[in-house]
Amino acid sequence: MKRISKEDLDGWNDDRKRARFINCLSGIKSCFLIGTCNASKQTNLAIFSSIFHLGANPSLMGLIVRPNVSSRHTFENIKLMGFYSLNLLPYQNHQQGHQTSARYSLEQSEFLETGFSEEWTEDGPVPFVKESQVKWLMKYIRTVDIPENGTHMVIGEVQCVYLPDDLIESDGSLTISQTDPALVTGLDCYHQVRKGIRYSYAKPGKDLTKI
């Protein structure tokens, strides 16, 4: 076992090395493409792995937006239009997904530049990703600023979900792994996941059963 202290981390001269280390530490995460646009329907697509569950009633999710120029396009569009789409990134499109993290200019759409197809519905004013099998519209609720490092937590509410018919179990669970989603460690290492095993609700003193 190696021990790396806060002082060791602070002593690393290379900021990107520390960023890679800490980004990897938070584990292997699902990749989402966030689809947005501005009032002129200039579209933007960006890969995020910091999407998390906040609650099911109301159905809220959080998203961390970093204080850098690239993701600002997404953040500005979310606040401007009040809506954004979350699209699970298929593993077969993971290289294109990674490419959306390049710093394209405001006038360039990552849809066009990286080869994803825009999909528009009547549910909201923002584009979905046609290649994604599981996607939904989010309504912007509010932002929580994190003054410690200038990041922002964006809170949104799930509006309308599109997904394959056979993905929903009768109890509401989704067999997401069946769509072969892309997972990421840190900012650049992409993975596939194996089929999962479900277990019964845990109770003290009772053996778990597979369901």
Residues 159-188 that bind a copy of itself (CB under 8 A): 159-165, 167-168, 171-177, 181, 183-186, 188
Q: How far is the CB of 89 from a copy of itself (least distance, A)?
A: 9
Query: Could you tell me which residues come within 8 angstroms of residue 125 by beta carbon, excluding any fewer than 6 positions away?
Result: 37, 81, 83
- Going from the C-alpha of 139 to that of each of 13, 65, 159, 169, the distances in angstroms are 41, 16, 7, 26
Q: How far is the CB of 72 from a copy of itself (least distance, A)?
A: 16
Q: How far is the CB of 57 from a copy of itself (least distance, A)?
A: 6
Question: Which residue in the set 13, 15, 39, 107 belongs to the binding site for a copy of itself (CB under 8 A)?
Answer: 15
DSSP string of 58-105?
A: TEEEEEEE-SSHHHHHHHHHHHHHSEEEEEEPBGGGHHHHHHTTS---
- Looking at residues 66 to 95 of the shown chain, list those that interact with a copy of itself (rule: CB under 8 A): 66, 88, 95
User: CA 86 to CA 131: how far, in whole Å?
Assistant: 12
Q: How far is the CB of 153 from a copy of itself (least distance, A)?
A: 7
Query: Could you tell me which residues come within 8 angstroms of residue 105 by beta carbon, excluding any fewer than 6 positions away?
Result: none
Which run of H or of E encompasses 188? none
Q: Rule CB under 8 A: is residue 60 a binding residue for a copy of itself?
A: yes
Residue span binding a copy of itself (CB under 8 A) among the ranges 35-43, 72-80, 192-200: 192-200
Question: Which residue in the set 13, 24, 71, 126 belongs to the binding site for a copy of itself (CB under 8 A)?
Answer: 24
Q: How far is the CB of 5 from a copy of itself (least distance, A)?
A: 5
